[in-house]
Amino acid sequence: MEALGGYPVKSSGPQVKRLTVLLTMTVGVGCLFLLQTQFLKPQKPADFYSFEVKDAKGKMVSLEKYRGKASLVVNVASNSEQTETAYMSLQELHKELGTSHFNVLAFPCGQFGDTETGTSSYIEAFAKSTYGVTFPFFAKIKIMGSEVEPAFKFLTDSVQKVPKWNFWKFLVNPDGKVVRFWRTDEPMENIRREVAALVREIIVKKRMEL
């Protein structure tokens, strides 16, 4: 083989072949890596009950145990002007509708002034001893900013609203979807009416499945 000008050059056939093989192997490995990372990539939870959160004692727990029930998720606080009224009305609702089909789920938050300054275990103990609440408490969380609790972010993203104060309430249906939310000053009677209606739907559906 001759180059331009008539000078002979060494054949590059073997080098080209080796380069082709190397390039093919590189592309193949790259494709396998992409497929592997795609399959191993953590799947974003599809609903509220798919999340894991910390309980008041710091232990990771799955919200899956509440699937099939209605849940009223509330960002609570111990030293808010609404604390006493809210805890008493939430406990009454929790007791009235029972835990077979419904639960109040309390998530303390300390991002609204000095309304929640204690540890998670203290917050739970205070609420139980002072107001006699029996509904589940979870670890103190953040619902705004870069350290937002993912489970609570799911709620706020679902309704495109972030709480402006303590005791916002999010109604989650048996499938883990948010169906309603209420601000702090919403009369509990209005909330009770809609929660009770959802609980009745759950009961009727279960009876029909028997």
What stretches of the chain adopt beta strand conformation (E)? Answer: 52-54, 60-62, 70-76, 102-108, 169-172, 178-182
d(CA 185, CA 73): 16
Number of domains in the chain: 2
The token pair that represents 57 in the structure block? 């004692």
Provide the percentage of residues in the chain whose pLDDT is more than 90.
Answer: 77
Task: Looking at the structure, tell me whether residues 70 and 123 fall in a common domain.
Answer: yes
Task: Looking at the structure, tell me whether residues 136 and 191 fall in a common domain.
Answer: yes
**pLDDT number for residue 123:** 98
**Tokens 């093919």 belong to residue:** 24
**pLDDT number for residue 39:** 45
Predicted TM-score of the model (pTM): 0.80
Nearest CA to 151 among 47, 43, 9?
47
The boundaries of the domain holding residue 13 are 1-41
* CATH code assigned at 113: 3.40.30.10
**pLDDT number for residue 3:** 45
49 and 67 Cβ atoms separated by less than 8 Å: yes
d(CA 184, CA 169): 8
**pLDDT number for residue 210:** 83
Task: Looking at the structure, tell me whether residues 34 and 95 fall in a common domain.
Answer: no
Task: Looking at the structure, tell me whether residues 157 and 112 fall in a common domain.
Answer: yes
Task: Looking at the structure, tell me whether residues 148 and 200 fall in a common domain.
Answer: yes
Task: Looking at the structure, tell me whether residues 30 and 129 fall in a common domain.
Answer: no
Task: Looking at the structure, tell me whether residues 27 and 108 fall in a common domain.
Answer: no
The token pair that represents 128 in the structure block? 């139980």
**pLDDT number for residue 95:** 97
Residues of the chain with pLDDT under 70: 1-44
d(CA 207, CA 90): 27
